[in-house]
A and B are shown apart, each in its own frame.
Chain A
Amino acid sequence: MVSTTHYLVLGAILFTIGVFGVIVRRNVITMFMCIELMLNAVNLTLLAFARMYGQIDGQVFVFFVMTVAAAEAAVGLALIVMLSRKTDSVDIDEADTMKW
């Protein structure tokens, strides 16, 4: 029997991987995928609770998150394309001109 706790632990592990991926990786595409990982970790958590309480709200939320993630992907990928055209790389640390 897979309990709610199992889902939550998996969600937490995925989320943590995403967080550290964003922080330690310099490749923008990798960072982007890590963000997606975090979103889906949250989705998993929402689904786990929806199942536990037997209510549909959590599932509906997941649809919203997926929709927003799709929109975010469109914007984010466009940004990545522009960044690679400007700096000839996908290294996020190249884009450091916005500072004090």
Chain B
Amino acid sequence: MIDNFWILLLFPLFGAAVNGLIGKKLPARLVGVLGSLTVFLSFAVAAISFVQLLGMSPAERAVTNHLFTWIQAGDFVAQCSFLFDPLSAVMILVVTGVGFLIHLYSIEYMRGEDGYYRFFAYMNLFIFMMSILVLADNYLLMFVGWEGVGLCSYLLIGYYFDTRVAGDAAKKAFIVNRIGDFGFLLGVFLIFQTFGSVSFHEVFTDVVQRFPAPEAGLGVLGAITLLLFLGATGKSAQIPLYVWLPDAMAGPTPVSALIHAATMVTAGVYMIARSAALYSRAPDTMAVVATIGVLTCLLAALIAITQKDIKKVLAYSTVSQLGYMFLAVGVGAFSAGIFHLYTHAFFKALLFLGSGSVILAVHHEQDMYKMGGLKKYLPVTWITMGAATLAIAGIPPFAGFFSKDEILWQALTSPHGQIIFWLIGTAVAALTAFYMARLMFLTFYGPERFELGHHGHGEQGHSGGHEGAKPVEPSWIIKFPLSVLGILSLVGGLVGLPAWLGPNYFEGFLEPSLEFAYRGPLTQEGQGHASEIGLTVLVVTLAIVAIWVAYRYFLADPTRAKQFAERHPALYQAFWNKFYVDEIYDAFIVHPIGRLSESFLWRGIDDGVIDAAVNGVASLFRNWSRRVRKMQTGYARAYASWILFGVVLIFVYYYIVS
């Protein structure tokens, strides 16, 4: 199977084509089953290939499927070929595995929505594009996937295109991503100019030869990596381009779970890990990546504390967790970043799917202050979301604990690490525990603040759709993905144990994919595990304290939180208004560009030059022909006279010349 693993691309493409072209005429049940089944088949192929990969010796674990030569022009060659190595194996398993669960969930969640077939067509197209992104064996093909997932993201954010919010959010996501993609593309150009190839293997072997030591100062590697990183900040929602992700919550909840939590937004982390050979030789870029990561991590966590919309909290939480991943790759801990990507995919997808279940149960209410006490109505959702919350809060033995612990340890001890990274990372770990506990307490505990029966939503088919009834948990189609992801959130981290506890299989498995990365002089081992254990205990204690504080403020005595906000209005307003970043962007970028576009580009260039030139030529011809066309009288004899006149002229001319 691994010799032809690329066929896993065909299933979602087929699903997208069928659902997109004739899905409107198919019965809804078939549309949903087809959409999910195709992704499951992809997952099956990926899983079989993965098992075969494990059967090989670690040094051989890189299988390339070459399909055809895609572009050939002079020296430039881009192959259409795909790479299955440990890194892409992890990614494709996450993409298709979590993707399948979310597709399954969507069968029920999206039931009765207009354009049901459209939803599945886009989702399948997304899986196809994301698979290209993670399996591509060169930068140009990766860029195809990179753009393709951006397109699907745009289409799915704008799924409810008849509402203004969704349309605006979709455009915002697309345009902000465009800024990043522009950097990515320039980075690819520069790679080709420098190394004469875009293939991963050729570039990396070349860079190993040409840069035996990391580049001093900001040279060509620094430029390449910074440009690629600009692409990553767009796709993976980091400062300064993170602003689109919270707005992207206008899309359906499964979309938030799949694209804006588990897979697409992690593409930047994957890209940097894939380019470890380049990044590890550009120390300045590494510092930038780590700094941006840790700042994003902190900023988003602070905003998440005050948000009232359950999906907004999770969106900022995603931005914050992505910040952790960038911190990890920025300090050179590429496998730790991918490890957090992998555990995060489970618990964050679960949190979103759980929130979707809650939103369904309370009839499309997203304000957490209008929920509460749902624990007894939604037991499965409560339990699984609880597991995900403990995972993201970093409570052992849940998955997030291991990955976050690894990142924090690396942030402190790696050659690129700094104490400030560790301090902020630890503070954010506590903040994470705090805002997630707040989310859980407001949603599932305390008094019931939701109102049922007043909502006149015309959506049929939802299992909680009867008026005035108690919230009802959806059927097994929704509970099954929640349960699987819940189990994965619990045990998923056990493959990457910290050094003092056992072997880190995950890091060992990824090792061959990172073979070209610059290692540097080996750091002295034997720092002893005591300090690592001590720091881990400290972080976990902080997280537990944060949960306890959240309990005191939001459950035991909810007025405390309100009083605290009233005592510190400036602080609260800054958090609540997301540090006014959107407003600042509006004032300093969007409006100036808008004014410049209208007064100069539109009125000046477009109307004044381009249209004026086109219209001027047209009116010139119109005015002249208005006079000249009188020559065409319709009288044959007049034409004969003109011919005679012409002949005479020619004779006169020749007479004069000769």
Contacts and interface: CB of A to CB of B under 8 A. Distances in A.
B641 interface: yes
B500 interface: no
Interface stretch (B437-445, B490-498, B591-599, B625-633): B625-633
A26 B641 CA distance: 13
Interface of A: 19, 22-24, 26, 31, 92-93, 95-100
Contacts of A19: 640, 644
Nearest to B625: A100
Interface residues of B, number: 11
A26 B637 contact: yes
Contacts of B632: 98-100
A99 B641 CA distance: 16
Interface centre among B629, B633, B636, B641 (most CB of A within 10 A): B636
Contacts of A24: 637
Contacts of B635: 92-93, 96
A93 B644 contact: no
B647 to A, nearest CB: 9
Nearest to A92: B636
A20 to B, nearest CB: 9
A100 B637 contact: no
A31 B634 CA distance: 16
Interface of B: 629-630, 632-637, 640-641, 644
Contacts of A26: 637
B639 to A, nearest CB: 10
A31 B632 CA distance: 20
Given A31-B636, A100-B629, 18 more contacts: A19-B640, A19-B644, A23-B637, A23-B640, A23-B641, A23-B644, A24-B637, A26-B637, A31-B637, A92-B635, A95-B634, A95-B636, A97-B634, A98-B632, A98-B634, A99-B632, A99-B633, A100-B630
The 10 A-B pairs of least Cβ separation, nearest first, read: A99-B634, A96-B634, A100-B629, A22-B640, A92-B636, A23-B640, A100-B632, A98-B634, A99-B632, A23-B641
A62 to B, nearest CB: 21
Contact of B633 (A22, A31, A92, A96): A96
Contacts of A98: 632, 634
13 contacts: A19-B640, A22-B640, A23-B641, A23-B644, A31-B636, A31-B637, A92-B635, A92-B637, A93-B635, A93-B637, A95-B636, A99-B633, A100-B632
A96 B634 CA distance: 4
Nearest to A95: B636
B621 to A, nearest CB: 15
Contacts of B633: 96, 99
A39 B634 CA distance: 25
B477 to A, nearest CB: 73
Contacts of B629: 100
A26 B637 CA distance: 8
Contacts of A100: 629-630, 632
Contacts of B636: 31, 92, 95
A9 B632 CA distance: 34
Contacts of B630: 100
Instruction: Indicate the member of B635, B640, B641, B644 with the most A CB atoms within 10 Å.
Output: B640
A37 to B, nearest CB: 14
Nearest to A96: B634
A45 B644 CA distance: 19
A95 B638 CA distance: 12
B634 A22 contact: no
B629, B637, B644 — most chain A CB neighbours (10 Å): B637
Nearest to A22: B640
B458 to A, nearest CB: 62
Contacts of A95: 634, 636
A89 B641 CA distance: 22
A20 B222 CA distance: 86
A76 to B, nearest CB: 12
A62 B325 CA distance: 93
A96 B437 CA distance: 92
A3 to B, nearest CB: 23
A2 to B, nearest CB: 26
A52 to B, nearest CB: 21
A100 B636 CA distance: 14
Nearest to A99: B634
Contacts of A93: 635, 637
A26 B632 CA distance: 18
A97 B633 CA distance: 9
Nearest to A28: B636
B330 to A, nearest CB: 75
Nearest to B636: A92
A100 B632 CA distance: 6
A24 B644 CA distance: 12
Nearest to A21: B640
A6 B636 CA distance: 33
Contacts of B634: 95-99
Nearest to B631: A100
Contacts of B641: 23
A22 B641 CA distance: 9
A93 B636 CA distance: 7
Nearest to B628: A100
Contacts of A96: 633-635
B655 to A, nearest CB: 15
Nearest to A25: B637
A98 B638 CA distance: 13
Contacts of A31: 636-637
A43 B634 CA distance: 31
Contacts of A99: 632-634
A28 to B, nearest CB: 9
A18 B576 CA distance: 97
Nearest to B641: A23
A92 B636 CA distance: 7
A23 B642 CA distance: 10
Contacts of A97: 634
B41 to A, nearest CB: 69
Nearest to B637: A23
A26 B638 CA distance: 11
A100 to B, nearest CB: 4
A96 to B, nearest CB: 4
Nearest to B626: A100
A32 B633 CA distance: 20
A99 B635 CA distance: 8
A68 to B, nearest CB: 18
A72 B641 CA distance: 21
B646 to A, nearest CB: 12
A97 to B, nearest CB: 6
A32 to B, nearest CB: 11
A98 B635 CA distance: 8
A6 B36 CA distance: 99
A22 B637 CA distance: 7
Nearest to A24: B637
